[in-house]
Structure 1
């Protein structure tokens, strides 16, 4: 269906986060989806994915998770992030990633959800948190912190969810009531870590699927990177859309 887009400013305890929103171009209200981008941030490929999702009947909010460092695009990105440009891009991105602590992530998640559910185009009821790369971990943290509000989580080629850190995302799995789908590239985690992840989700009673997408490398959904796989992107839609349909539109 046709969609509309707009840019917005989200009030947060640390200032204002700029954001991109896409939603159906028709009257009425639509289930809300909070979409966390990967570490490369809000950019045309992510905005296009938000529009695609909005075309299926959702209001999609994409915050600039690095707003403390400036408006998106926070750094200048090449049109295509390949092997030659990746080191220079990461040199700029990684300090911002490290500065985005779990404390900041939780403050922001609260602000993002409050803003999302207050939009006039967003219907009452549960929302979803969807994330890519580091956004996958942010989506899981959001669901754990807001179990009564987040009914679905989807993370694709997520950053580590099981670590030795005291604030590792897996330690909060017992708080998650959402249905979860994790779509992994083969190299995203070792078989041992994947087993530990599944055990942690099972022990927490989380309804989940963890799937290794065939013939993929980390970042497979992003068409502006060398990791992109068109078939894996399609596979991601085939997993994401039914999850949202059964948790949001039929709730």
Structure 2
């Protein structure tokens, strides 16, 4: 069940959606769903609803809200030069620091929606790093964090998520595409070392044969149903372990 909501931040108003189980079953724990670079759309709605139907309250915010109306885009948008440039402009203009600040309001929105206790985060593509950054920044409020085909998780940038590893108290799962220029093997090794030395309970798993975006249904030509189902098993298991039923 989807409910559109507005969330106030220091920089404006975020358009977001809350998802609860369609069957009306009670949901106690909250999850922030950090979008990929194409923004909220029906494909991500369906993923958020599936996560909600597993017994969670899921919040899907528009991280590009500072740019006003845009798109709509889908998983094929990067194949169009004009769309790609628009997306990259918004991506470059929405920093990790901005999303870090916004995440305080996202956490409060989940609490207001009835979520109890620490929440979970999950992010795809650009959202992967933000899910980890949020876990480090709000370590007392986030119990689990997952990234799937997240880009630049351990880059040379000052805001690279791996630099915050020592602050993470959540259980972490990172699902990596077999070939992904945005997260090459050297970054994977750097992230693994940062999480290990930071004392983080974590798993980094390589999905051999999968390409960047394999989990998202409207990434035509990239989406892989078998790989996507494997990702769902890992994600739901992560949350089941931190929130035993």
TM-score normalised by the shorter chain: which range applies?
Answer: over 0.9
1:130–1:154 contact (8 Å) kept in structure 2: yes
1:214–1:232 contact (8 Å) kept in structure 2: no
How far, CA to CA, are the matches of 2:179 and 2:80 in structure 1? 18
The aligned residue for residue 34 of structure 1 is 32
2:26–2:55 contact (8 Å) kept in structure 1: no
The size of the alignment, in residue pairs, is 241
TM-score under structure 2 length normalisation: 0.93
| SS of equivalent to 1:11 | strand
TM-score under structure 1 length normalisation: 0.91
How far, CA to CA, are the matches of 1:249 and 1:43 in structure 2? 31
The aligned residue for residue 206 of structure 2 is 212
Query: Among residues 123, 142, 154, which one is paired with 2:146 in the alignment?
Result: 154
2:142 pairs with 1:144: no
Q: CA RMSD in A?
A: 1.6
How far, CA to CA, are the matches of 1:26 and 1:224 in structure 2? 27
How far, CA to CA, are the matches of 1:66 and 1:103 in structure 2? 13
| SS of equivalent to 2:103 | helix
| SS of equivalent to 1:206 | coil
How far, CA to CA, are the matches of 1:248 and 1:33 in structure 2? 12
2:149–2:213 contact (8 Å) kept in structure 1: yes
Query: Among residues 209, 224, 231, which one is paired with 1:229 in the alignment?
Result: 224
Alignment of 1:123-138 (within 5 A): 124-138=116-130
2:69 pairs with 1:76: no
Task: Kindly state the Cα deviation for residue 103 of structure 1 after the two structures are TM-superposed.
Answer: 2.2
| Cα distance per residue 1:138-194 (max 9 Å; x no partner) | 101100000011000010000111111222111111000010111111222332222
The aligned residue for residue 54 of structure 1 is 52
| SS of equivalent to 1:241 | helix
1:10–1:18 contact (8 Å) kept in structure 2: yes
How far, CA to CA, are the matches of 2:39 and 2:113 in structure 1? 23
Task: Kindly state the Cα deviation for residue 94 of structure 1 after the two structures are TM-superposed.
Answer: 0.4
